[in-house]
Amino acid sequence: MAKNKHQTSSIRHRAFYKHPLCYLLAMALIIVIAFIIVRRQKEPTLTDLTVSNSSSVEKPIATNNITASTSIPTKSSSSVTNQSVSPDGKTPEKYEGTDPNTSESLTGYITTARFNNDKLVIRVNVDQYTSNGTCTLTLSDGSNQLEKSSKLVPVASTSTCEGFDIQASELSIFARPIEINIHLVSNDKVGNITGRVE
Q: Could you read off the pLDDT of 4-31 as tens digits, one per residue?
A: 555 555 555 555 556 677 778 888 889 9
Total tally of structural domains belonging to the chain: 2
**Domain membership of residue 149 as a residue range:** 48-197
Q: Are residues 113 and 34 in the same domain?
A: no
Same structural domain for residues 158 and 179? yes
**Omega prior to 73 cis, within 30 of 0:** no
pLDDT of 72 strictly over 60: no
* Residues 57, 36 share a domain: no
Give the pLDDT band (50/70/90) at residue 188. confident
Average of pLDDT values for 127-153? 94
Give yes or no: residues 37 and 58 share one domain: no
Whether residue 186 contacts residue 106, with contact meaning beta carbons closer than 8 Å, is answered with yes
**What's the whole-number mean pLDDT along residues 99-128?**
91
Do 23 and 82 belong together in one domain?
no
More confident residue, 78 or 159: 159
